């Protein structure tokens, strides 16, 4: 019988049905959680747990084998032992030959090449060749699979079904790294996710394929990648350069050092390339390379929430001296940003809303409202700055005074920010220097489209990245 | 009448009485809050609000003038208008001549040289010369004053009386920066404070004086400094070099750029010096210079909580691949740290406590317990590593599994950490990759002497700083 054609990546994100081979009825176990998460994610198609010893799992009818499922199944999740994976691979091949479905396989199971054993490598090779022969595509093995918050696909035991929806698509060689980002962001709704792909050993589908797939995905506003070592770097960068014409890519590349490379290899059998080569290639492809985890998290989520700046003229609005000095130091450190020039009449107008001791424009583009600030002053000054064409972005810094309530401060800032129509908006980054004491204010601002930060230099680095990408886009559009 | 001798800095931190000139009865106002915080701080001496229009403020007897207070007053807090400050300065001089007290003055009031006006500069000059003539010492003006969590002194309206007590002494030219650190740390008890000094315009007492003062202060375990521009840099570095023979100093220096310098000047009239000069001087004096706010916060509090490593051999204990790769990259990036060599029999012993798929020692010094980890495994492996003389420090990383409770995980880690007697302990830094979802675990670890981090690279940078300072100390002791 002839093998069917190679399946579309769509089978992962818009499957008609999902089969979970190795589903468990044991509450709290990962293999139960996968079924539960898949079920609670709002997926419109059918979910089929596969386990020969059960009739039902998590309220869903259970099937003894993959072949016994009567309805179409596009996405197969494998959470059985490595040896069993190889057996199931033959069922997948048979299904594809007989019915043409089963085009997407994600192998969550581990115990393959990453073990560093001959047996692990052999099992992986057998698994992959059987599945590839069938025309099905593979994500994994040794991964956490895929999530799509719009179609309701979730093959993981780690990404909760109520994960905040948004425009960030995460592509990661490390499942732990990607889920850490989500857990970090969770309680204050700092990031909204569209798709999530954990590649693991990355034997088939890789960054190149997924980048090409999400290039025109309307729900993906920014692509955030963790990589530690890839085979086809050139191919990936070619596709990346095409993607960055349309939307930003933020990357963190681990395995910068020999020792880091060894660690990466012990986890996913990947080989990291030369760090300087990557630096140059990222820059040329217009990919923003984050130098720290914090920069990666913050830049990714800000690209999703905030509009792109139209230029590099940034205004600082503050009530705090020291943190603003640190912010300005960082902001101008790369030479890509200048403080915005404020017109004399604009300065006069701003001053009218503030106390006499306020500093408006020393240095140019810098406004210190002083600690004697009211919510109303935030609104009025932000309104003026949002309307000013000579300002491309704003960094706002405060230690929220005890006498202004979180809700009041957030409402005042959002009123100023939203006073401008969406198409004229510019990024407003808010540094709230008070830790969890202002958690409520943070969440309100985040939900209103104003990214928040704990440290002034973090906000500055993100603003540099916004300006850098915006300049890249303008250069590319001009060319 | 002859002027009395120059007063001791002790008058700030161990005054017999504190007078607050400009105290207000208006609830919620800064000048009321200062009285309230002073009162609630547990100060054993008397607190005297001074305000001619009131008989009582916050339950304390109020005095019409500084001179009408019958009891000894060593510390005077000025929160009146700049012009009035100058008048009160004469009263201070008179008190010093007549009674010999009033040796410490902190001028919280602003409106002096930082205004950039002739009048502001003149007022400051008059204020300072009058007070200096009397032999009293000044902190400020335009500052937040001083706190001592042991003696119960608090002249601020910004540092809450129940601030967590500990070994960090903060010296800062920016009040906002210093209080931001405290507010950031507050709810999870991330940092414990001993003394807090906000210098403001720094017309008299400065870093040099305070460094000399805390050098032998038993409660000060680490000095954390924010500076943006100082006059006597050479003098400060001389004293700093003497202090770092005994205890660590962590510094963040703002005003690295011309633009940053302008901002600093607009706040405290300070002039920042050459950035490279500072880099060299910090290094030579054994001061750890933080390159970011996060690094400053984390390094400061870790020096307080954790023991110094005896060498540079660091072990990584993890359950997560990607974040560990990032951590190792950062850890080895400066060449100061090597991963610890683990003896064969130690590796065997560690392996006996873990699942078969665990990676013990690839690369050397690296242990991945895998996601199939139990609380017990944490305890046993940490116990073995804490006892091992060939390991000088440990970075532990986890995305805490949902099936282990916060309390259970924290207890297991602390049991392993505390299994070694205090004098043999080594730093254990814990990266909890789950944001506020594990807030409880974080707080328990922090209170048990195990500093926690959100990002793997933050922990790595702190470990480098611990190792760097420890090496500096050994070099100095050897010389």
Q: Does residue B179 have a pLDDT over 80?
A: yes
Q: Does residue A198 have a pLDDT over 70?
A: yes
**What residues does B316 pair with on adjacent strands?**
B366, B395
Chain center to CA of A138: 21
A23 touches chain B (CB under 8 A): no
Q: Among A361, A370, A368, A363, which Cα is nearest to A388's?
A: A361
Tokens 């403001």 correspond to B200
DSSP codes of every residue in B408-433: HHHHHHHHHHHTS-GGG---EEEEET
Residues in CB range of A415: below 8 A, 6 or more apart: A379, A382, A383
Q: How far away is chain B from the Cα of A70, in angstroms, using its nearest Cα?
A: 35
Both tokens of residue A328? 């300005």
Please tell me the predicted confidence (pLDDT) of residue B263. 87
Chain center to CA of B310: 23
Contact B180 A433 (CB under 8 A): yes
Contact B433 A176 (CB under 8 A): yes
Long-range contacts made by residues A386-390, C-beta under 8 angstroms, separation at least 24? A386/A416, A386/A417, A386/A419, A386/A420, A386/A424, A386/A425, A386/A426, A386/A428, A387/A419, A387/A420, A387/A424, A388/A340, A388/A342, A388/A343, A388/A346, A390/A313, A390/A340, A390/A341, A390/A342, A390/A343
Sheet strand arrangement including B249-253: B153-154, B145-148, B193-198, B165-172, B222-227, B249-253, B288-289
For residue B252, the chain A residues in CB contact (below 8 A) are 326
Q: Does residue A463 have a pLDDT over 80?
A: yes
Q: How far away is chain A from the Cα of B147, in angstroms, using its nearest Cα?
A: 19
B271 touches chain A (CB under 8 A): no
| Contacts with B, A 26-85, CB within 8 Å | 28
For residue A259, the chain B residues in CB contact (below 8 A) are 328-329, 331-332, 339, 363
B275 touches chain A (CB under 8 A): no
Question: How far apart, in whole angstroms, are the C-alpha atoms of residue A299 and residue B350?
Answer: 39
Q: Angle at the Cα of A15 (from A11 to A17), degrees rounded to 5?
A: 135
Chain center to CA of B410: 25
Q: What is the pLDDT of residues B123-144, one digit of tens each?
A: 999 999 999 999 999 999 999 9
Query: Using an 8 Å Cβ cutoff, are A406 and A447 in contact?
Result: no
Please tell me the predicted confidence (pLDDT) of residue A351. 97
Least confident of B135-144, B251-260, B314-323: B251-260
Nearest to A366 among B228, B263, B363 (CB): B263
Q: Does residue A274 have a pLDDT over 90?
A: no
For residue A436, the chain B residues in CB contact (below 8 A) are 186-188, 436, 439
Question: How far apart, in whole angstroms, are the C-alpha atoms of residue B329 and residue B333?
Answer: 6
Query: Using an 8 Å Cβ cutoff, are B406 and B373 in contact?
Result: no
The region, left, alpha or beta by phi > 0 then psi within -120 to 50, assigned to residue A364 is beta
For residue B185, the chain A residues in CB contact (below 8 A) are 435
A322 touches chain B (CB under 8 A): yes
Tokens 């990714």 correspond to A300
Query: Using an 8 Å Cβ cutoff, are A175 and A198 in contact?
Result: yes
At B40 the three-state DSSP class reads helix
- Chain B interface, mutation test: which of A321, A369, A397, most B Cβ atoms within 10 Å? A321
Q: Does residue A451 have a pLDDT over 70?
A: yes
Cα–Cα separations (whole angstroms), residue B425 to B316, B367, B377, B410, B432 = 16, 20, 19, 18, 21
Q: Does residue A188 have a pLDDT over 80?
A: no
Q: Angle at the Cα of B296 (from B328 to A464), degrees rounded to 5?
A: 80
Q: What are phi and psi of A247, to 5 degrees?
A: -150, 155
The region, left, alpha or beta by phi > 0 then psi within -120 to 50, assigned to residue A306 is beta
The region, left, alpha or beta by phi > 0 then psi within -120 to 50, assigned to residue B62 is beta
Q: Among B219, B236, B9, which Cα is nearest to B106's?
A: B9
Rounded to two decimals, the pTM is 0.95
Q: What is the pLDDT of residues B160-170, one digit of tens each?
A: 999 999 999 99
Please tell me the predicted confidence (pLDDT) of residue A1. 60
Please tell me the predicted confidence (pLDDT) of residue A205. 97
Q: What is the pLDDT of residues A212-225, one digit of tens each?
A: 999 999 999 999 99
Sign of CA dihedral B70, B76, B81, B86: positive
Nearest CA in chain B to A264: B325
Nearest CA in chain A to B159: A402
B115 touches chain A (CB under 8 A): yes
Both tokens of residue A28? 């709290």
Q: What is the pLDDT of residues A70-102, one digit of tens each?
A: 999 999 999 999 999 999 999 999 999 999 999
Q: How far away is chain B from the Cα of A2, in angstroms, using its nearest Cα?
A: 39
B228 touches chain A (CB under 8 A): yes
Contact B186 A437 (CB under 8 A): yes
Average pLDDT of chain B to the nearest whole number? 94
Please tell me the predicted confidence (pLDDT) of residue B270. 65
For residue A228, the chain B residues in CB contact (below 8 A) are 322, 325
Over residues A457-476, the mean pLDDT reads 97
| Contacts with B, A 136-175, CB within 8 Å | 172-175
A115 touches chain B (CB under 8 A): yes
E-strand ranges in B205-258 read 222-227, 249-253
Residue ranges of the alpha helices (H) in B244-343?
Answer: 258-268, 275-284, 293-305, 321-332
Q: Does residue A446 have a pLDDT over 90?
A: yes
Please tell me the predicted confidence (pLDDT) of residue A128. 97
Tokens 């089929």 correspond to A48
Quote the DSSP letter at residue B63: B
State the pLDDT confidence band at A186, using cuts at 50, 70 and 90.
confident
Q: Among B285, B243, B255, which Cα is nearest to B173's?
A: B255
Nearest to A266 among B362, B433, B455 (CB): B362
Q: Does residue B184 have a pLDDT over 90?
A: no
A454 touches chain B (CB under 8 A): yes
* Interface A:B, Cβ pairs < 8 A: 233
Q: Does residue A403 have a pLDDT over 80?
A: no
Q: What is the pLDDT of residues B288-298, one digit of tens each?
A: 999 999 999 99
Q: How far away is chain A from the Cα of B290, in angstroms, using its nearest Cα?
A: 12
Both tokens of residue B255? 């005003």
What percentage of chain A reaches a pLDDT higher than 90?
Answer: 84
| Contacts with B, A 331-370, CB within 8 Å | 331-333, 339, 357, 359, 362-363, 366, 368
Least confident of A80-84, A131-135, B111-115: B111-115
For residue A226, the chain B residues in CB contact (below 8 A) are 322
Contact A116 B362 (CB under 8 A): yes
Sign of CA dihedral B450, B451, B454, B455: negative
Average pLDDT of chain A to the nearest whole number? 94
Over residues B421-447, the mean pLDDT reads 92
Other C-beta atoms closer than 10 Å to the C-beta of A116 total 12
Query: Using an 8 Å Cβ cutoff, are A73 and A17 in contact?
Result: yes
For residue A359, the chain B residues in CB contact (below 8 A) are 266
Q: Does residue A271 have a pLDDT over 70?
A: no
Q: Does residue A56 have a pLDDT over 80?
A: yes
DSSP codes of every residue in A179-224: HHHHHHHHTTT---EEEEEE-TT-SSS-HHHHHHHHTT-TT-SEEE
Query: Using an 8 Å Cβ cutoff, are B391 and B420 in contact?
Result: no
Nearest to A173 among B322, B333, B399 (CB): B322
Q: Among B209, B8, B238, which Cα is nearest to B100's?
A: B8
Contact A294 B294 (CB under 8 A): yes
Q: Does residue A341 have a pLDDT over 80?
A: yes
Please tell me the predicted confidence (pLDDT) of residue B408. 95
Query: Using an 8 Å Cβ cutoff, are A285 and A278 in contact?
Result: no
Contact A437 B174 (CB under 8 A): no
Q: What is the pLDDT of residues A345-395, one digit of tens each?
A: 999 999 999 999 899 999 999 999 998 899 999 999 999 999 999 999 999
Both tokens of residue B121? 């500069």
Please tell me the predicted confidence (pLDDT) of residue B271. 64
Contact A332 B257 (CB under 8 A): yes
Contact A328 B257 (CB under 8 A): yes
For residue B187, the chain A residues in CB contact (below 8 A) are 435-437
Quote the DSSP letter at residue A113: G
Residues in CB range of A397: below 8 A, 6 or more apart: A316, A317, A318, A319, A320, A323, A324, A327, A430, A431, A433, A456, A459
Contact A293 B110 (CB under 8 A): no
């Amino acid at each position: 019988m002839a093998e069917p054609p190679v399946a579309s990546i769509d089978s992962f994100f818009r499957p008609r049905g999902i089969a979970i081979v190795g589903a468990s009825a044991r509450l709290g176990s990962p293999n139960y959680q996968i079924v539960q998460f898949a079920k609670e994610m709002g997926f419109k198609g059918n979910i089929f747990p596969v386990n020969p010893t059960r009739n039902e799992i998590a309220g869903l009818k259970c099937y003894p084998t993959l072949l016994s499922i009567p309805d179409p199944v596009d996405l197969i999740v494998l959470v059985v032992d490595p040896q069993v994976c190889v057996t199931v691979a033959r069922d997948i091949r048979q299904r594809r030959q007989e019915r043409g479905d089963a085009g997407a396989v994600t192998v969550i199971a581990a115990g393959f090449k990453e073990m560093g054993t001959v047996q692990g490598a052999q099992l992986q090779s057998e698994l992959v060749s059987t599945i590839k022969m069938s025309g099905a595509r593979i994500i994994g093995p040794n991964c956490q699979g895929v999530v799509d918050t719009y179609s309701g696909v979730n093959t993981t035991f780690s990404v909760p079904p109520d994960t905040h929806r948004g425009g960030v698509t995460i592509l990661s060689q490390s499942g732990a790294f990607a889920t850490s980002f989500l857990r970090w962001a969770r309680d204050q709704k700092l990031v909204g996710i569209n798709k999530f792909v954990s590649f693991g050993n990355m034997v088939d589908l890789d960054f190149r394929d997924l980048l090409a797939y999400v290039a025109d995905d309307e729900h993906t506003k920014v692509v955030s990648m963790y990589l530690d070592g890839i085979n086809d770097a050139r191919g990936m960068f070619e596709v990346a350069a095409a993607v960055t014409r349309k939307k930003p890519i933020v990357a963190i590349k681990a395995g910068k050092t020999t020792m880091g490379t060894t660690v990466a290899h012990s986890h996913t059998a990947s080989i990291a390339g030369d760090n300087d080569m990557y630096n140059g290639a990222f820059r040329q492809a217009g990919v923003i390379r984050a130098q720290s985890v914090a920069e990666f998290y913050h830049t990714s989520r800000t690209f999703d929430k905030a509009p792109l700046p139209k230029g590099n003229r940034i205004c600082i609005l503050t009530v705090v001296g020291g943190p603003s000095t640190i912010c300005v130091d960082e902001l101008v450190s790369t030479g890509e940003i200048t403080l915005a020039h404020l017109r004399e009449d604009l300065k006069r107008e701003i001053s009218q809303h503030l106390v006499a001791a306020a500093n408006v424009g020393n240095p140019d583009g810098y406004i210190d409202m002083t600690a004697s600030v009211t919510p109303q002053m935030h609104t009025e000054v932000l309104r003026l700055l949002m309307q000013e064409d000579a300002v491309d972005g704003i960094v706002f810094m405060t230690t929220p005074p005890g006498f202004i309530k979180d809700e009041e401060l957030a409402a005042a800032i959002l009123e100023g920010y939203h006073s401008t129509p969406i198409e004229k908006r510019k990024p407003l980054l808010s540094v709230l220097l008070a830790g969890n004491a202002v958690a409520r204010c943070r969440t309100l601002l985040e939900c209103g489209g104003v990214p928040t930060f704990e440290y002034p230099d973090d906000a500055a680095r993100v603003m540099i990245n916004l300006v850098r990408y915006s300049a890249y886009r303008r250069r590319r559009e001009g060319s």
